[in-house]
Amino acid sequence: MSDVLILNGRLVDPVSGIDDERDLLLRHGRVTAIEMPGGLRFAKAKDTIDAAGMVVAPGLVDVHVHLREPGQTYKESIATGTAAAAAGGFTSVVAMPNTVPVNDSVASLKWMQDAARGAVVKLFAMPAATFGSMGEEITDYHELRDAGAVGFTDDGKPVLETRVMRAALVAAAGIGVPISQHAEDTRLTGGCSMNAGPVAFRLGLRGMSVEAEAKIVERDIGLLRDIERHDGLRPHLHVQHVSTARAMDAIRKAKREGLHVTCEVAPHHFTLTDEAIGEYDTNAKMNPPLRAEADRVAMIAGLMDGTVDCIATDHAPHALFEKEQEFERAPNGITGLETALGLALRVLHKGEGMPISRVIELMSAQPAEIVSLDGRGRLSAGSFADLVVFDPAAEWSFEVKKTRSKSKNTPFDGAPMLGRVVATISEGRIVFKG
């Protein structure tokens, strides 16, 4: 850890409302001073970054990543996955529990967060909502929360039984953390490998209906309503990687009703449609799948009108040999940490007119708030020295051969991006320089 001086940059901090030139001094892992340009001219620091023409923003926060360690380090490790995060401007990531074995105990949680794992940025985790992510019995939420859990999820699998999901929401409400749900009625998706629609029909593949996602979202929202009415609790439901217009509409209505529901959208769901599968391209296979154009437009509408609370990558690395199979046999998932900001700025800022400050809010302050990461997702005196410096005007193309991830399963190789990360600073340490 060393002192860092950042000069001449455009500070964009949605929490404080600052969008103007500022100089910053980082010391002992915290933001020590934020001054008008020239206000720190006598300050001394080991490292100085001239951020003229650049945006200086809170470090990005991703509440949904798969780092594959323990058990599948041939795909990714905590060290390589967080290195990819740093290259993408992320300073905090939340790991999902579908490791081998499943992260469902205090021992496994502490093992993941041990410094020996070599995390490049700050690693948080959501342990499993149920033991083994089997959907039958909830884990010990109190013990896991005390050990650092920021929420609970069986991501990759839904908590399908209504009785178990209700118990999970009640238990999590009692300790003030969210239940993060992968919304998929697997009773409707067996043998399905992409979105149901004309593309699936042409390719001869079984498709997942929009109902499979929407029914779980609607069921869970009903549980929130019931628990508030009968238990006097206010549970927090977080809906992962929303991909359908029907689910988005249900979330929008629940928010208007005052229920505590938040949601995320992944860049691939507001950028691509199922047409990207082409001739069985497994790098465009994920769950939830790429949907129709109407659903993609609905994701953008949710992002623009405030229904969506954050952008999350669902970074899901797989080895080349796993993706080089028949489409139906290949695993779901793509990498996403190094392309998220570039896609968001290109599609939402340049394409849809979303202010840069709002893009940053969706990728920093709001995800940090969802999982209660105090002192992160904002830049003010005393907050953690988590920052990203990026060139907002830089147009570039992603080259997967240069990825920091172990895996290269992305549909965005060669895709145009906007906004190049110049530096990422995690708790005062420069962890990436572009």
State how far Cα 348 lies from the chain centre. Answer: 16
What is the identity of the amino acid at 409?
N
Q: Is 202 exposed, middle or buried (0-12, 13-18, 19+ CB in 10 A)?
A: exposed
Phi, psi at residue 309, to the nearest 5°?
-90, -30
391 assigned to active site: no
- Between CA 301 and CA 323 the distance in angstroms is 32
Expressed in percent and rounded to 5, the helix, strand and coil fractions of the chain are: 35, 25, 45
Q: Which helix (H) or strand (E) is 182 found in, with range?
A: none
User: Which of 126, 101, 256, 253 is CA-nearest to residue 182?
Assistant: 126
Place of tokens 């009108």: 305
Q: Compute CA distances 94 → 22, 63, 288, whole Å.
A: 30, 5, 19
State how far Cα 252 lies from the chain centre. Answer: 20
What is the identity of the amino acid at 99?
T
Q: Indicate which residue of 104, 220, 274, 314 is catalytic.
A: 314
Three-class SS of residue 225? Answer: helix
Place of tokens 């964009």: 12
- Strands (E) in 338-386, as ranges, are none
Q: Which helix (H) or strand (E) is 291 found in, with range?
A: none
Q: Compute CA distances 91 → 94, 163, 247, 376, whole Å.
A: 10, 37, 30, 9
Walk across the sheet containing 90-95 and list its strands.
60-65, 90-95, 122-125
User: Which of 51, 55, 108 is CA-nearest to residue 341?
Assistant: 55
User: Which of 177, 182, 181, 189 is CA-nearest to residue 148?
Assistant: 177
CB 227 within 8 A of CB 165: no
**Hey, which residues are catalytic here?**
314
